[in-house]
Amino acid sequence: MTTAERQLLSGDDAVALAALHAGVRLGTGYPGTPSTEILETFDRLGGRAQWSPNEKVALEVALGVAFAGARTLVTMKHVGLNVAADPLFTATYTDVEGGLVIVSADDPGMASSQNEQDNRHYSRAAVIPTLEPIDSQQTYDFTLLAFEISERWKIPVLLRLTTRVCHSKTIVVPRAPVSDVAEPAFERNIPARVMIPAYAKPAHHRLRAKLAEIAAWNEAEGPIRLDDGDSKLGVISTGISAVHAREAAPQASHLTIGMTYPLPFERIRAFAASVERVLVVEEGDPVLVDDLRAAGIQVEGKPEMYRFSELDVARVRRILAGDTSPETVLPKGKPPELCQGCAHREVFQALGELECIVSGDIGCYTLGVLPPFSAMDTCVCMGASIGVGLGLRHALPEEQARRVVSVIGDSTFVHSGLTGIAEMVYNPPATGHLVMILDNGTTAMTGLQEHPGTGRLLDHSTTNKLSFEGIARAMGVQNVHVVDTTDKSVSLKDVIAELLAKPETSLLITRQPCVLAAPKIRVYDKAAAESARQHSCAAAVTA
């Protein structure tokens, strides 16, 4: 085989290439490690992709694309699916015309996340067929398969990846692009798309019928791999666990399940009957082992201690040996920190000096919790800084309530902070409240992506720009201030102290481009100015 046919691709890149080959009309999503590169690569390969303000909107836009009969891909990290859960649970009731594939990239071990939730629970709860690839080749193949399943049964399909699949590079042999992708066209189908109870009740029955058909397909011809080995030990696994297990126990018999919801119980039952001992090796929660036991298939699971963090070959060896002795504690690496020269440093310095109670949010500025600042007291999920800050204000004694500040980044504010401002205006605490947007003009944490507040699209070309100060004024926030943190004539500490002293609602925006993004932003601005100049020249010539 020549290198021209083979490519060394990450799992994320494999999804993007497959989406291109599948004829995806539009890719939507919200950046989140380890899923971010999917849409970036899709755009680079020539696909049409856009960042949405958040995952709920991304899924809703994609649902519209699918209703229009075109193929569409939605990408997000695991916690993003929580944000998109509301449309997800009803999207599965609807009939999608074009293929709709949702990528959920889980992060077992929390390399860069606030929790290690196992999104296989969503497959069961939202009733969504789920595929779990083991490497980049399977990620490519399963993306294409997911579109086929989605269109055949008119149902959204979940492609569940994990960090080690997203960010590992393995060899992929791609196929040719799909040639017969349908052109979008709207066909009215009210009972299949309007989920009022009268239509939703039959839709739920329809969904269960679809699921039964997909389960039968999975039994007959679903993606499942059997590696025959010694009949003493049979290992059942999914996703990245499968390759760890094959390396840890090369002599055993292995069954690797590709479509993990709905499960091919009869094929698994036959495998279990063919070996003396059956062990389920799965990362995260005991989802598969519980399902198999409920179906009456006697299997062994892993000890509880292996529910936490990622699996690897060494841990799978321990699971196989039933070893529950304490694991070796490895030396800790250097933790990340707020960049030198970052404007956020001054903000946390000031908040610390004023002894503020800081309700924080998700982003690079969450690092303000670490020494030397230690200036963050809460952090739960995207947008929670504002709601939690308001709750603290409502409940705390006045002296403490007056020190509560909500701190949120610009991208996070657009994602989930807008409704928090509505809440603050609608139910203002007696002491008022102060929300700070630390606006560094980018989504820094995930690698400098654009958002509706930057005025640039996913490919960094110019578009409309949200004005945070305009939004806050229109929503009725009493005091709206913007501080350019490079302006040394203004004391940030004094401004914060002044706003805290007022029993009013306040929004303080601290603005300075991210030190990592600034050189790139200058390049984008220059390109935009050049393009505008060429357009005006062309206009002059044609006039």
Based on the shown chain and the rule CB under 8 A, indicate whether residue 169 belongs to the binding site for other proteins.
yes
Please, what is the minimum distance in Å from the beta carbon of residue 238 to other proteins?
15
Minimum CB–partner distance for residue 438 and other proteins (Å): 15
338 sits near other proteins (criterion: CB under 8 A): yes
**Part in contact with other proteins (CB under 8 A); list of ranges 271-279, 288-296, 443-451, 453-461:** 443-451
Nearer to other proteins (CB atom), residue 34 or residue 53: 34
Q: Which helix (H) or strand (E) holds 120?
A: helix 120-126
Residue 343: closest CA among 211, 474, 270, 438: 438
Q: What is the number of other CB atoms lying within 10 angstroms of the CB of residue 486?
A: 10
Does residue 371 bind other proteins (CB under 8 A)?
A: no
Backbone angles phi, psi at 311, to 5 degrees: -95, 160
Closest CB to other proteins among 107 and 291? 107
Query: In terms of C-beta density within 10 A (0-12 exposed, 13-18 middle, 19 or more buried), how is residue 114 classed?
Result: middle
- The per-residue DSSP string of 433-454 comes to EEEEEEE-SSBTTTTSB--TTT
The answer to the question of residue 462 lying near other proteins (CB under 8 A) is: no
Q: Which is nearer to other proteins, 31 or 453 (CB)?
A: 31
Q: How far apart are CA 229 and CA 252, in angstroms?
A: 5
CA 385, CA 391: separation in Å to the nearest integer?
Answer: 10
Question: How far apart (Å, rounded) are the C-alpha atoms in residues 351 and 166?
Answer: 37
31-50 positions binding other proteins, by CB under 8 A: 33-34
Nearer to other proteins by Cβ, of 344 and 481: the residue is 344
Contact between residue 498 and residue 412 where contact means Cβ atoms under 8 Å apart: no
Nearest Cα to 297, choosing from 306, 288, 309?
288
Q: Judge whether 319 and 465 are in contact, CB under 8 Å.
A: no
Q: 3-class DSSP state for residue 480? A: strand
Cis amide bond preceding 286, omega within 30: no
In the complex with other proteins, the residue whose CB is nearer, 170 or 510, is: 170
Residue among 197, 326, 335, 397 that touches other proteins (CB under 8 A): 335
Instruction: Single out the residue of 46, 179, 332, 371 in contact with other proteins (rule: CB under 8 A).
Output: 332
Draw the binding track, 132-161, toward other proteins (x: CB under 8 A; -: no contact): ---x--------------------------
Contact string 229-268 vs other proteins (x = CB under 8 A): -----------x--xx-xx---------------------
The contact set with other proteins (CB under 8 A) reads: 3, 6, 8, 33-34, 111-112, 135, 163-164, 167-171, 240, 243-244, 246-247, 312-314, 328, 330-339, 364, 367, 445-447, 516
